[in-house]
């Protein structure tokens, strides 16, 4: 979602960048070159010699990155606030994993600096207050496992466990390919932190919202052209509590989000994006509707047939667990209805058509008319009847 902020009474060109900006950029460029060149001295040269704690942390992070396959690493200064010999810079860290990212992944940082004898040195480096998050290599040494279709980066995990996750992801990618036609990377990057707390730090969000959630996919929706590979972040506790079948469903679901990312936009309702991911995950498993949608079945059998498809707020991780389960199950049955009644090709065409709308208003209605020759009211009636038929 984007917008324009209008400030009454302001006119003319934007303020000129601070005169220190080029020098600060050069200092950060040297730091980036140190990472790419595996030159620890060059990486540390940008840091204030007196910042002993920062230098120790940076030295550890440099070592933690040793096995991570980087093809690019750069800092871009987007703003500077300066007071004399001290400054705070808003910076984008942009990096690519070799063989996986077609374009850089960007994460905002806030960097503190001080000037000595005409040169700027970093005294602090932290996630930006708005949208920043910790990086995996800041949590410990990164262990790397490569699969046929995936790259798994883990901290505090054994190689054996990471290989098992890679093997499951290698099954997920072909399953998604079989259901989703069109251009996508056909590969997936998975991050496996040490704990739920560490997972929340990577996502920049409170951990309570992810308790019991086995994995989460992050990425930019509606991107066109080259776009960075999404990151599937695994909750080691919740994922580990699942059996082989559950783990395969989870990673196939998340891999579907990776594949459909560029076809997903703000116009795509959550029931469709999550329902489609579940439809792909369960598509070839042979599981019954009752096995896939137990919470919704319990609701139907006690006479609580949903009146409408779930709204986006029903998918909140911080809400009631039963409500969340019924929302996912409702979305799955809606997509299953489309695949059953109109065919799988129409389901994927419908998904693309909704995402192509870009704006929420009218996108679903238009796609239902154009692709399914129906209306939202008619579809809702069909879906309610289908829910009753499959779960009653």
Domain boundary among 248, 263, 278: 263
- Asked whether residue 85 is assigned to any structural domain, the reply reads yes
Q: Are residues 248 and 223 in the same domain?
A: yes
- Asked whether residue 224 is assigned to any structural domain, the reply reads yes
**216 phi, psi to nearest 5 deg:** -135, 140
Q: Are residues 293 and 335 in the same domain?
A: yes
- What is the reported pLDDT for 130? 86
Structure tokens at 11: 């006119």
- Asked whether residue 304 is assigned to any structural domain, the reply reads yes
Domain that holds residue 277: 264-392
Q: Are residues 77 and 35 in the same domain?
A: yes
State pLDDT tens for residues 156-202: 999 999 999 999 999 999 999 999 988 899 999 999 999 999 999 99
> With 90 as the cut, is the pLDDT of residue 9 above it?
no
- What is the reported pLDDT for 318? 75
Q: Tell me if residue 203 falls in helix, strand or coil.
A: helix
Among the listed residues 185, 141, 142, 146, the one whose alpha carbon sits nearest the alpha carbon of residue 166: 146
Total count of domains within the chain: 3
- Asked whether residue 165 is assigned to any structural domain, the reply reads yes
- Asked whether residue 16 is assigned to any structural domain, the reply reads no
Which residues touch 274 (CB under 8 Å, ≥6 apart)? 315, 327, 328, 331, 332
Structure tokens at 285: 């498993």
Q: Are residues 28 and 85 in the same domain?
A: yes
What distance in Å separates the CA atoms of residue 196 and residue 29, rounded to the nearest whole number? 34
Residue 56: band (very low, low, confident or very high) from pLDDT cuts 50, 70, 90: very high
- Asked whether residue 1 is assigned to any structural domain, the reply reads no
What distance in Å separates the CA atoms of residue 171 and residue 157, rounded to the nearest whole number? 21
Q: Are residues 326 and 381 in the same domain?
A: yes
Q: Are residues 119 and 216 in the same domain?
A: no
CATH number for the domain spanning 240: value is: 3.30.2010.30
pTM for the whole structure = 0.91
Q: Are residues 68 and 160 in the same domain?
A: no
Q: Helix 159-179 and helix 244-260: axis angle, to 10°?
A: 60
Burial 87-97 (b: 16+ CB within 10 A, else e): bbbbbebbbbb
> With 70 as the cut, is the pLDDT of residue 35 above it?
yes
What distance in Å separates the CA atoms of residue 68 and residue 348, rounded to the nearest whole number? 35
Q: Are residues 147 and 198 in the same domain?
A: yes
Residues in the chain: 392
Q: Are residues 167 and 275 in the same domain?
A: no
Q: Are residues 96 and 181 in the same domain?
A: no
Structure tokens at 18: 């601070």
- What is the reported pLDDT for 1? 31
What distance in Å separates the CA atoms of residue 18 and residue 222, rounded to the nearest whole number? 34
- What is the reported pLDDT for 227? 52
What distance in Å separates the CA atoms of residue 181 and residue 142, rounded to the nearest whole number? 34
Please report the beta strands in the chain, taking only residues with DSSP state E, as ranges in sequence order: 70-83, 86-97, 105-116, 119-127, 143-146, 150-154, 188-192, 215-218, 231-234
What distance in Å separates the CA atoms of residue 120 and residue 115, rounded to the nearest whole number? 4
> With 70 as the cut, is the pLDDT of residue 3 above it?
no
Burial of 257 (0-12, 13-18, 19+ CB in 10 A): buried
Structure tokens at 323: 């409500």
- Asked whether residue 37 is assigned to any structural domain, the reply reads yes
**116 phi, psi to nearest 5 deg:** -130, 125
8 A C-beta contact, residue 111 and residue 125 = yes
Domain boundary among 208, 238, 263: 263
- Asked whether residue 9 is assigned to any structural domain, the reply reads no
- What is the reported pLDDT for 151? 97
Residue 138: band (very low, low, confident or very high) from pLDDT cuts 50, 70, 90: very high
Q: Are residues 26 and 117 in the same domain?
A: yes
> With 90 as the cut, is the pLDDT of residue 10 above it?
no
State pLDDT tens for residues 63-100: 999 999 999 999 999 999 999 999 999 999 999 999 99
> With 60 as the cut, is the pLDDT of residue 4 above it?
no
CATH number for the domain spanning 68: value is: 3.10.450.50
8 A C-beta contact, residue 77 and residue 46 = no
Domain boundary among 72, 105, 132: 132
Q: Are residues 254 and 306 in the same domain?
A: no
């Amino acid at each position: 979602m984007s917008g324009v902020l209008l400030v009454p009474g302001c006119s003319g060109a934007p303020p000129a960048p601070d005169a220190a900006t080029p020098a600060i950029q050069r200092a950060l460029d040297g730091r980036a070159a140190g990472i790419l060149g595996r030159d620890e001295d060059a990486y540390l040269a940008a840091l204030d010699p007196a910042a002993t704690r920062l230098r120790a942390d940076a030295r550890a992070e440099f070592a933690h990155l040793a096995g991570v396959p980087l093809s690019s690493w750069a800092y871009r200064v987007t703003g500077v606030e300066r007071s004399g010999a001290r400054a705070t810079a808003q910076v984008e860290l942009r990096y690519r994993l070799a063989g996986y990212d077609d374009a850089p992944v960007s994460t905002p940082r806030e960097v503190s600096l001080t000037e000595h004898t005409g040169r700027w040195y970093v005294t602090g480096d932290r996630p930006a207050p708005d949208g920043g998050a910790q990086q995996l290599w800041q949590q410990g040494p990164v262990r790397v496992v490569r699969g046929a279709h995936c790259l798994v980066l883990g901290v505090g995990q054994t190689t054996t466990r990471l290989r098992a996750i890679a093997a499951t992801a290698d099954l997920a990618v072909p399953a998604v390919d079989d259901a989703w036609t069109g251009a996508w990377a056909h590969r997936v990057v998975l991050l496996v932190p040490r704990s739920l707390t560490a997972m929340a730090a990577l996502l920049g969000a409170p951990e309570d919202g992810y308790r019991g959630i086995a994995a989460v996919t992050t990425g930019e929706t509606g991107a066109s052209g080259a776009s960075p590979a999404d990151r599937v972040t695994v909750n080691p506790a919740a994922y580990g509590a699942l059996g082989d079948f559950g783990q395969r469903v989870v990673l196939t679901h998340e891999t579907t989000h990776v594949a459909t990312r560029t076809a997903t936009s703000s116009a795509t309702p959550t029931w469709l994006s999550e329902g489609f991911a579940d439809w792909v995950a369960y598509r070839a498993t042979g599981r019954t509707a009752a096995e896939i949608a137990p919470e919704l079945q319990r609701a139907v059998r006690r006479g609580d047939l949903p009146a409408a498809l779930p709204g986006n707020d029903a998918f909140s991780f911080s809400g009631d667990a039963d409500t969340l389960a019924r929302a996912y199950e409702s979305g799955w049955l809606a997509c299953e209805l489309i695949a059953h009644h109109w065919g799988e090709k129409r389901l994927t065409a419908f998904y693309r058509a909704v995402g192509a709308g870009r704006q929420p208003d009218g996108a679903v209605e238009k796609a239902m008319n154009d692709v399914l020759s129906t209306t939202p009211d008619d579809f809702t009636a069909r879906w309610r009847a289908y829910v009753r038929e499959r779960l009653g």
